[in-house]
């Protein structure tokens, strides 16, 4: 009999939001061919697992430093859950741990929970928690490049960003555009009135437009005449909407990244973040960059009463980019092969 070989065990950490997890997809899929992979991520990763990484295990954990407010009230941290996580990881006997963020808190977590070999990008002295510190990619590198660099360090080859395979869907004659106006952080939401005007212009061009939004935006859309606004409350519901979309227009947020991964080209309206870091990974995707600001890039908070880098992006500016984008994607006669 041929002896059964056991893959080494790899623990990957991505503790942030939907877009961050989607960007990690190529790494997780490639790593699963060489390693027995477990991912520590927020609980919604369980919803993404069947579609994106069915070969890996997900260990749900919400890190206290990823919440929007009161990140460092140590007395309120879920210490019991942290110690439970440590017991699970140590019992699993992981050979290797990786994380693409240059975040000392992630590096401390890998050491705290007992991963033997820890690979990452040090910052602020966090190399003391890493056994294999790596140099960071260049300052304008897309977040995907960090996963690609990690892969090279552990013998997992990932394609260059421009060569990432994309799910190709059969054209069905649909001209439906999905406009998703939600985002995880308020400073990344282009004004809803602007989206309403954009939807009107697209409908005047005879495009079918479906508006989707976060729950807190629903009443605004209903008051402003969008009687059939969709409000997906789970990732499976959002994925179901994407199945009927030919392109997506939205903020710098998770739905755009998920759409790109599902084979839907995206147009992203950026504000406080940089497109070169976070543009969705689809070869046909486009974007408009936010206005210049001394404090960019920003993460959770804005120095001003409103994110002027985003709110000062006008409807005519976006329309000048969206209209030819929609025409290119929806009106072309290209033959697109179905996904294998």
pLDDT tens, position by position, for the chain (340 residues)? 344 458 899 999 999 999 999 999 999 999 999 999 999 999 999 999 998 999 999 999 998 877 656 566 666 777 788 888 888 888 888 889 999 999 898 999 999 898 989 999 999 899 999 999 999 998 899 999 999 999 999 999 999 998 888 877 655 556 689 999 999 889 999 999 999 999 999 999 999 999 999 999 999 999 999 999 999 999 999 999 998 899 999 999 999 999 999 999 999 999 999 999 999 999 999 999 999 999 999 877 888 888 999 999 999 999 999 999 999 998 864 434 333 3
Fold of 9-163: Rossmann fold (3.40.50)
Predicted pLDDT of residue 337:
36
Q: How many residues does the chain have?
A: 340
Beta bridge partners of 86: none
- The Cα–Cα gap between 259 and 252 comes to 12
Question: Domain spans of the chain?
Answer: 9-163, 176-330
CATH of domain 176-330: 3.40.50.2000
The span from the CA of 285 to the CA of 290, in Å, is: 16
* Helix, strand, coil abundance in the chain, percent, nearest 5: 40, 15, 45
Contacts of 258 (CB under 8 A, 6+ apart): 18, 19, 22, 235, 238, 239, 242
Asked whether the beta carbons of 223 and 217 are under 8 A apart, the reply is: no
Instruction: Examine domains 9-163 and 176-330 and report if their fold is the same.
Output: yes
Residue 178 in contact with residue 249, Cβ under 8 Å?
yes
- Would you state the pLDDT for residue 93? 85
Give the DSSP H or E segment for 268.
strand 266-269
Give CA separation, 54 vs 50, 58, 120, in Å: 5, 10, 25
């Amino acid at each position: 009999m041929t002896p059964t070989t056991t893959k080494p065990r790899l623990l990957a950490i991505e503790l942030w939001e939907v877009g961050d997890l989607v960007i990690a997809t190529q790494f997780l899929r490639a790593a699963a061919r060489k390693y027995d992979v477990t991912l520590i991520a927020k609980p919604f990763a369980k919803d993404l697992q069947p579609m994106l990484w069915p070969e890996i295990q997900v260990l749900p954990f919400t890190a206290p430093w990823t919440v929007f407010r009161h990140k460092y009230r140590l007395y309120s941290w879920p210490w019991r859950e942290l110690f439970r996580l440590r017991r699970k990881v140590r019992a699993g006997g992981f050979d290797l741990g990786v994380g693409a963020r240059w975040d000392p808190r992630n590096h401390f977590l890998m050491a705290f929970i007992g991963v033997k070999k820890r690979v990452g990008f040090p910052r602020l002295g966090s190399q003391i928690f890493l056994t294999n510190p790596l140099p960071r990619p260049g300052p304008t590198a897309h977040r995907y490049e960090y996963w690609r660099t990690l892969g090279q360090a552990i013998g997992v080859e990932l394609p260059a960003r421009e060569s990432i395979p994309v799910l190709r869907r059969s054209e069905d004659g649909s001209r439906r555009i999905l406009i998703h106006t939600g985002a995880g952080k308020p400073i990344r939401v282009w004004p809803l009135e602007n989206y309403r005007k954009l939807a009107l212009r697209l409908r005047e061009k005879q495009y079918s437009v479906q508006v989707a939004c976060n729950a807190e935006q629903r009443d605004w859309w209903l008051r402003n005449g969008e009687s059939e606004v969709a409000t997906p409350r789970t990732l499976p519901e959002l994925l179901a909407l994407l199945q009927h979309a030919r392109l997506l227009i939205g903020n710098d947020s998770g739905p755009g990244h998920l759409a790109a991964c599902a084979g839907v080209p995206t147009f992203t309206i950026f504000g406080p973040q940089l497109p070169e870091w976070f543009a969705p990974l689809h070869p046909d995707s486009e974007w408009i960059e936010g206005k210049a600001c001394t404090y960019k890039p920003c993460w959770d908070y804005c120095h001003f009463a409103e994110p002027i880098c985003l709110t000062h992006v006008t409807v005519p500016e976006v329309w000048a980019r969206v209209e030819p984008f929609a025409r290119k994607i929806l009106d072309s006669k290209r033959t697109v092969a179905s996904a294998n």
